Structure 1
Amino acid sequence: MIPVIVLTGYLGAGKTSLLNGLLTRPGTRVGVIINDIGKINVDTGLITGQIDAAESIAGGCVCCLPDSGGLDELLEKLAAPKLRLDAIIVEASGAADPINVDRLLRYGNAPGVRPGGIIDVIDAVQHEHTVDTAAMAPARFTAASLVVVNKLDMISAEQREATFTRISERVRQANPQVSIVPASHAAIDPELVFDIALNEDPADELPLAAASRAEHDHTHAPHAHAVTVPCPEPADPGAILDLLENPPANAYRLKGHVKIRTGTGIQRYLINMVGWQPHLQLATAGSDPADDALVAVGVDLDEQLVGDALRSALQPALVEPTSQNLTRLERRLILSSRAAQDEDEQLADEESVSS
């Protein structure tokens, strides 16, 4: 299932610059949905880099669509297997409310996709004069899985750290769990957002990516770190779910194949967690059980702490899992399997018609 990553943020915060930086990473096929609020799709013309498919929602805002139908149609088109995309990025308009965008994605029906996180971009210079002016922290932060505090290079060196700390504290008043990273020129490490397949462009890739890459300086981007712990033996479902519900600090993503004892045998699952949104499905066909491992990705990871948390969750299960933990596992699979839900609803409708 292809991750759908949403970029939100007020006009001028740096969404398009951040998107361009993500697109210039070689070896990844990315589909893009641009949401323009004007009659002319201005932002589409600003996008450079490795775009394998681009669609535009013109004349309005994602959050103002009467339902998710318009967005679902575009997502389904980009998720077609023939495009072989690794990720889909939606750049929402500056007027989009992340909370409403999150609802559209959660209750949408596009097959073949999964939530890949909502990245809210903040203009560190103007934020406290435009977005964050009320007594309460803006509610928009509750939907974000990653907050990028951008344009810190435009703040004096003496005030930079204090500004980042002050904005971070306000964000965490609304969303204590969210990951927050500092940025200049909207540069973040693409590996924090989605998996990178290769370190160079395939032979048949778009030449525009290589040409535009030289224009983007990634030296300002905080480097994402990864901690990997193998899973040679089946783990307890309760321990795995506890980890997903309470991941270690600064671990923005958790991913990998794991073996889990289910009570009736051993089953392998694929885990993809972004922020606090875990996605669990049956293991990818053709994956090698010998390579099963869990990987945590984030900025400023305490490698010892994160490694200990992963090792604790992946401890071999010496006894059969409890019925409570098996129920939790089943519930998580149901919540994660949007495609399965759609299929069940279709079968139920067919059975109703047959009756």
Structure 2
Amino acid sequence: MTARQPIPVTVLGGFLGAGKTTLLNALLARGDRRYGIMVNDFGAINIDAALIRRRDTRMITLTNGCMCCGPAADQNAALTALAEGGDDGIPPDQIVIETSGVADPRRVAQLAALEPTLLIDGVVVLADASAAAGLLADRLVGDTLIRQFARADLILLTKTDLVNPAGLAQAQAAIARAAPGVAMIASPASAASPDDGGFGAALVASGGLSPPAGTAAARHLPDDDIDHQADARFSSWSWASRGPVDRGRLLAALTALPPGVLRVKGVLPVAGADGRPAATVVQMVGRRWRLTPLAAPIGDTAPALGGPPPALGKTGRGIGHDGQGALVLIAATGALPAAPDLQTMFDAIRL
């Protein structure tokens, strides 16, 4: 009997709002491989899992903390379940781990490397070209980005359409200083926006996620100073809508948030001009916000994310369906407004 080949594992990292989920959707849309997906969200509700459009894919979600700070046994049990193929027993061709935006992706890869049935294919870290230089210089979050970039096999610049040539060069120089010697690819402006999936298509066309020779994987980076402690450096707050919300009040609430809120994401039933609610994806990075219709999943149902966090590996109808919605806010520790104030602010957007 021929021994089964190890399953390649790609770790997809990057700071909050860099475009990880959009890239993952672009890969899944190809439909040429059977993927096992693990999605880790820092908040108590895994919003990213609700935004993944799946085709012949098994997905496991981990919530309420950063994978690189959590118990290794839980993560390895989840990876084992993915590698075994679930109920049908058919192993995936590849496993992709989408880390939380504050995770150390190299640490996640080191945990996955403990599994004998898995082979680390590479650590790919996305960087928002419009925000990377400023974030690297930020005293609260800069260290997190430096760690992510320096320990990557490949850095992919997204959102290059939001910067001019000088801004792109500034971002590249800042990242190169933080991660000397790590390969970096800037996607063309016409395919850079993670909102339209063009970036993911460009990456797929360029050969997928395999890191080029000479990158961190080839250099065998040591397991040094794993004291990331994202759970201590960042905090999150979650809100469930449990009914339709008013678009104008929602935008007013987002605009009123203090600059210390780094990321807002969620799916809410937003009432349109006719008063009928529609499942709407809410994305806010820094001061940039965007509302878009929730895309229908491909050949599967959306994960059950309304209410308490879902049990490991379970999916079903939930957020974005039947008037259910949720938001997650993420900030550096101490930068979030008090929970009662946030509760009052967002309760007021309900119809």
Q: TM-score, normalised by structure 2?
A: 0.51
Q: Does 1:224 align with 2:231?
A: no
Greater helix share, structure number: 1
> SS at 1:131's partner residue?
helix
CA gap 1:48/1:132 in 2 versus in 1, 3 angstroms = farther
1:308-338 superposed Cα distances (whole Å, 9 cap, x missing partner) = xxxxxxxxxxxxxxxxxxxxxxxxxxxxxxx
Whole-Å separation in 2 of the counterparts to 1:219 and 1:90: 16
Equivalent residue in structure 1 for 2:211, among 229, 252, 256: 252
Equivalent residue in structure 1 for 2:30, among 25, 29, 39: 25
User: Percent identity at matched positions?
Assistant: 30
Whole-Å separation in 1 of the counterparts to 2:15 and 2:200: 25
Whole-Å separation in 1 of the counterparts to 2:207 and 2:65: 38
Give the residue type in structure 1 aligned to 2:211.
Answer: Y
Q: Which blocks of at least 5 consecutive residues in structure 1 are unaligned?
A: 188-214, 227-250, 255-272, 280-355
> SS at 2:42's partner residue?
coil
Equivalent residue in structure 1 for 2:39, among 34, 55, 73: 34
Whole-Å separation in 1 of the counterparts to 2:39 and 2:178: 27
Deviation (angstroms), 1:53: 0.5
Give the residue type in structure 1 aligned to 2:149.
Answer: F
Q: Does 1:70 align with 2:84?
A: no
Equivalent residue in structure 2 for 1:92, among 68, 89, 99: 99
Deviation (angstroms), 1:30: 0.6
Deviation (angstroms), 1:105: 3.2
2:61 is matched with 56
Number of aligned residue pairs: 203
Whole-Å separation in 1 of the counterparts to 2:172 and 2:15: 17
Whole-Å separation in 1 of the counterparts to 2:207 and 2:24: 21
Kindly report which structure 2 residues correspond to 1:110-125, keeping only aligned pairs within 5 A, or say none: 110-125=115-130
Conserved in 2, the CA contact under 8 Å of 1:150 and 1:185?
yes
Deviation (angstroms), 1:65: 0.8
Whole-Å separation in 1 of the counterparts to 2:200 and 2:17: 22
> SS at 1:252's partner residue?
coil
Equivalent residue in structure 2 for 1:80, among 67, 73, 84: 84
Bigger radius of gyration among the two: 1
2:218 is matched with 277
Give the residue type in structure 2 aligned to 1:185.
Answer: S
Q: TM-score, normalised by structure 1?
A: 0.50
> SS at 2:171's partner residue?
helix
Q: Does 1:7 align with 2:7?
A: no
Deviation (angstroms), 1:220: 6.5
CA gap 1:2/1:70 in 2 versus in 1, 3 angstroms = same
